[in-house]
């Protein structure tokens, strides 16, 4: 089976998953009520929520830059900014909501070199974001447990906490990391690239202040993201509590990592399932989710414009998995 056929089958599977979930959720939605709520939405609050969404991404760009500085990696800020937003564009159609991470890492490494440091910065940045997600969800649940009659919500939070601890331990504990990387010994260049990346990842052990600072930034951005969704709910004339969104937004964000087209389907299911527990109808929950996805599309389109207008003569089209092993790169 050729790689092209595999990619096509992978895309088809993700499209089926997203489409199936959306069909199932949409079939249960009272669309007249949902459309009426969207028509009566407070546009000023919707615009304010979008501004917050855009500002969050600027802060995330800064966080990625902090990790690169900590790893002593230097690249022109214009290139960093360019590939950051191109990654957001690619998130719209690549597997899960983190598929763009591979693209931005591949593009920046291809143009600035030092592939292990670039990939290490992206891994650390994503790990920091996941850590912030877990912290905000835990704190939100502790503070909001008295206003939400849904003990089962602690289950996904516990799973996310456990997963973050396991991944963090694996990345920073050399024997464990070496053991898992042993799977790739039949591919010497890929194995070496993964081990080189680990050497850069563990550099953060000596830069605890930077690591903690980035984690704090992640917590703040995740909390602000919860507030953004709260504003959308208020714009749709809902009376949900702010703490509900501090708990639910991180869970939905994590669910969108699952294989799909830009997180579609899983995101809507997450919001419909969780907000139903606090009295918000599924139709309103889906409307809230789609408004949030519209924000993602707008920012992603900006990245697409950068992709077309600034690097159209050297587009990122190669398989990112080949880059980390050094294949396909004339510099090795």
pLDDT of residue 134: 92
pLDDT at 227 over 90: yes
Q: How far apart are CA 57 and CA 312, in angstroms?
A: 23
Greater confidence (26 vs 221) lies with 221
Greater confidence (151 vs 176) lies with 176
Let me know: does 126 contact 101? Beta carbons within 8 Å.
Answer: yes
pLDDT of residue 215: 92
- Residue 332 pLDDT class (50, 70, 90 cuts): very low
pLDDT, the chain, mean: 81
What pTM value is reported for the model? 0.81
- Residue 6 pLDDT class (50, 70, 90 cuts): low
- Rounded average pLDDT over 43-57: 96
pLDDT at 38 over 50: yes
pLDDT of residue 328: 41
pLDDT of residue 330: 35
Q: Give the closest residue to 194 by CA, choosing from 205, 183, 204.
A: 183
CA dihedral of 326, 179, 7, 21, whole degrees rounded to 10: -140
Greater confidence (259 vs 178) lies with 178
pLDDT of residue 12: 64
What number of other Cβ atoms are within 10 A of residue 83's Cβ? 31
- Rounded average pLDDT over 191-209: 77
Greater confidence (199 vs 108) lies with 108
- Rounded average pLDDT over 83-87: 90
Secondary structure element (H or E) that encloses residue 270, with its range:
helix 266-275
Listing DSSP states for 279-327 in one string gives T--HHHHHHHHHHHHHHHHHHHHHHHHHHHHHSGGG---S-HHHHTTTT
CB-side neighbour CA atoms (13 Å) of 172: 14
What phi and psi values does residue 95 have, to the nearest 5 degrees? Answer: -55, 125
Q: Give the closest residue to 289 by CA, choosing from 275, 274, 268.
A: 268
Listing DSSP states for 10-42 in one string gives HHHHHHHHHHHHHHHHHHTS-HHHHHHHHHTS-
Q: How far apart are CA 49 and CA 234, in angstroms?
A: 10
Give the residue carrying structure tokens 């579609």: 264
pLDDT of residue 2: 66
pLDDT of residue 230: 96
98-153 pLDDT per residue, tens = 677 888 888 888 877 778 888 888 889 988 999 999 999 999 888 877 777 767 78
Q: How far apart are CA 136 and CA 216, in angstroms?
A: 10
pLDDT of residue 322: 47
Greater confidence (9 vs 290) lies with 290
Let me know: does 246 contact 144? Beta carbons within 8 Å.
Answer: yes
Residue 95 pairs in a beta bridge with 261
- Residue 326 pLDDT class (50, 70, 90 cuts): very low
Residue 261 pairs in a beta bridge with 95
Let me know: does 262 contact 293? Beta carbons within 8 Å.
Answer: yes
pLDDT at 321 over 50: no
Q: Where are the domains of the chain?
A: 3-323
């Amino acid at each position: 089976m050729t790689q092209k056929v595999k990619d096509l089958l992978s895309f088809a599977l993700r499209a089926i998953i997203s489409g199936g979930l959306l069909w199932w959720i949409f079939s249960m939605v009272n669309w007249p009520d949902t459309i009426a709520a969207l028509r009566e939405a407070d546009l000023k609050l919707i615009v304010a929520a979008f501004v917050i969404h855009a500002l969050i991404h600027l802060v995330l760009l800064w966080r990625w830059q902090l990790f690169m500085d900590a790893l002593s990696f230097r690249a022109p800020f214009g290139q960093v900014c360019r590939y950051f937003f191109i990654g957001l564009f690619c998130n719209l159609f690549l597997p899960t909501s983190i598929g763009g991470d591979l693209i931005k890492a591949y593009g920046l490494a291809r143009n600035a070199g030092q592939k292990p440091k670039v990939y290490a910065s992206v891994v650390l940045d994503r790990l920091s974001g996941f850590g912030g997600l877990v912290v905000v969800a835990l704190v939100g649940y502790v503070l909001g447990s008295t206003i939400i009659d849904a003990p089962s919500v602690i289950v996904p939070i516990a799973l996310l906490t456990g997963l973050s601890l396991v991944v963090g331990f694996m990345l920073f504990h050399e024997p464990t990391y070496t053991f898992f990387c042993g799977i790739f010994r039949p591919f010497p260049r890929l194995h070496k690239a993964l081990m080189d990346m680990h050497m850069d990842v563990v550099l953060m052990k000596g830069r605890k202040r930077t690591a903690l600072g980035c984690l704090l930034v992640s917590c703040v951005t995740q909390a602000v993201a919860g507030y953004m969704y709260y504003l959308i709910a208020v714009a749709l004339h809902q009376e949900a509590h702010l703490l509900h969104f501090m708990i639910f937004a991180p869970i939905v964000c994590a669910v969108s990592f699952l294989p799909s087209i830009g997180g579609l389907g899983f995101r809507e299911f997450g919001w419909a399932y969780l907000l139903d527990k606090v009295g918000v109808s599924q139709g309103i929950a889906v409307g809230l989710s789609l408004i949030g996805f519209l924000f993602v599309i707008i920012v992603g389109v900006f990245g697409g414009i950068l992709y077309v207008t600034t690097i159209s003569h050297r587009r990122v089209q190669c398989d990112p998995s080949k880059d980390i092993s050094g294949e396909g790169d004339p510099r090795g």
